[in-house]
Amino acid sequence: MKETRISLSLTQQQLADRALVGIATVKRIEKGGSLNLDTLISILRALNKLQNLDAILFEAEMRNFNENTSSGEGAGRLQVRQQLTDLNQKSPAPHADDRDLSTALENTLCW
C-alpha cells in the first residue's frame, strides 16, 4: 500500500482524507498492522485499486491457511474434513423406496 501511495504522490494524510479514515490508521496499516474489510475497501477505493480486492483477499486467506496448517492448529480440522469426505464417498445416503419410506426418510434426515 505504501508503494502505491508514494507512486501516486500522496501523503499519508491525503490518503487518509480520501479513504475517510484517520491518519493513524494509514500509519498502522503501512507498518503491517491489521485492518477490517471496510477500511481495506475504503483505502483501495482511494488508491483506485479496488479491482485488486479479490487478489488481496485470496492472498490473505492462503497466508492464514498456511499459518494454521504449519502450526498444527488447523491440522485437526483438515483431518476431520478428509475423513468426512472419505465417508461420503464410501457410503452414499440411503435412497427412499416404496417398501420402507419412513426408514429411508429417517436415515436421510440423519445424514
Residue 66: per-residue pLDDT: 75
Helix (H, G, I), strand (E, B) or coil at 72: coil
Q: How far apart are CA 27 and CA 21, in angstroms?
A: 11
Cell of 16: 487518509
Residue 105, CB-side half-sphere exposure with 13 Å CA sphere:
5
User: 42: exposed, middle or buried (C-beta count within 10 Å: 0-12, 13-18, 19+)?
Assistant: buried
What domains appear along the chain, each with residue ranges and CATH number? Answer: 2-73 (1.10.260.40)
What residue type is 59 in one-letter code? E
Query: Strand, coil or helix: what is 44?
Result: helix
How much is the pTM? Answer: 0.54
* Ordered per-residue pLDDT tens for the chain, 111 residues: 899 999 999 999 999 999 999 999 999 999 988 888 899 899 999 998 888 888 888 887 887 777 777 665 545 444 444 444 444 444 445 454 545 445 444 444 444
Instruction: Give SS3 for 62.
Output: helix
Question: Do 45 and 32 contact (CB within 8 A), yes or no?
Answer: no
